[in-house]
Amino acid sequence: MEGLLDFVLRDILTRVGGVDRCVSEFIRVTGTLFPERVFLRYVPELLNGCKTTSGVPVRPQLLGSDVACLADNAARLVEMGAEGIDLNFGCPSPVVNRHRGGSALLEEPELLFQIVAGVRRAVPAHLPVSAKMRLGLHDDRRAEACAQAIEAGGAAELVVHARTKAHGYRPPAYWERIADIRQVVRLPLVANGDIWTVADALRCQQVSGCQSLMLGRGMVANPALARGIRAATQPDPLDAAAADLSWPRLMALISEFWRLVCAHLERDQQTGRLKQWLNLLRRVYPEAQTAFAEVRTFHDPADVERWLSAQALPGVRA
């Protein structure tokens, strides 16, 4: 989720609860062994035991097709304290795909095997190497073969986004194809794609056969989604209460998000990041529609400061 779920939003969303682990934005490897400062730009949590401020582990994700270079960068991340390495075989970006990265690799199961095996050799045995894939590039004919190649390379876990690159993000997600993949591999699978509500999550679990889920835009739109899923599947009064994230409590998180954005991002990026989040929040919160309309013309961070000062912010943190 390049350009959306960065370390700032990871910090905020994991404060709400219900998340077991995060994966970083992809770090694109193209023939270079990166210095530590590059990794820290993407995953500053490396300075905090590779955890968010609320204690949720973050696994760095690498993207590329150069086996040796991916392995070298994975080894450096481990030296910096990474608790594991994730590999991206799902990005649908045309630019990434033209440069033989992301979902383009799903046309080459043998290369998937080589990448996973190379990174697995570079990472100490006690640390996991995981991967994320789509069902394919143009179609899903190679989905099972790709999953088998990733398993054979030594991956400990595989997230399957149940759409091809050609599908993009258009609904539906084909969760039943994840069930097909489960029949040919033994490694743990995680279902992903089109999970916007608790009802979606429960249906995805039933159709895919996976109990573990990866959330993306659904949790950005509804920060309490993971907590709600946990409450529905592992009933706990605390989860049930936290799953009801009121707009005043969310405004407190938005205010904290803005503080972190101003502290860590360039000035010309700041108002755009707030508008980006409010735009997705409109799917769940009617109040976000009003907020988005009020801030959409802002370009000066000072205007946002004045807008936040005018809101009735509660003295609680979710």
| Closest alpha carbon to 81 in 29, 34, 123, 27 | 123
Contact in structure between 70 and 86 (CB atoms under 8 Å): no
50 is catalytic: no
Give the sign of the dihedral formed by CA 114, CA 169, CA 28, CA 278. Answer: negative
- Gap between the Cα atoms of 74 and 85, Å rounded: 7
| Closest alpha carbon to 18 in 259, 222, 249, 256 | 222
Task: Tally the residues of the chain.
Answer: 318
Q: Which two tokens stand for residue 305?
A: 């400061």
Given the residues 22, 69, 91, 210, select the one marked as catalytic. 91
Per the DSSP assignment, residues forming a β-bridge with 51 are 57
| 3-class DSSP string for 173-223 | CCHHHHHHHHCCCCCCEEEECCCCCHHHHHHHHHHHCCCCEECCHHHHHCC
- Gap between the Cα atoms of 148 and 93, Å rounded: 24
Peptide bond into 57 cis (omega under 30): no
- Annotated catalytic residues are 91
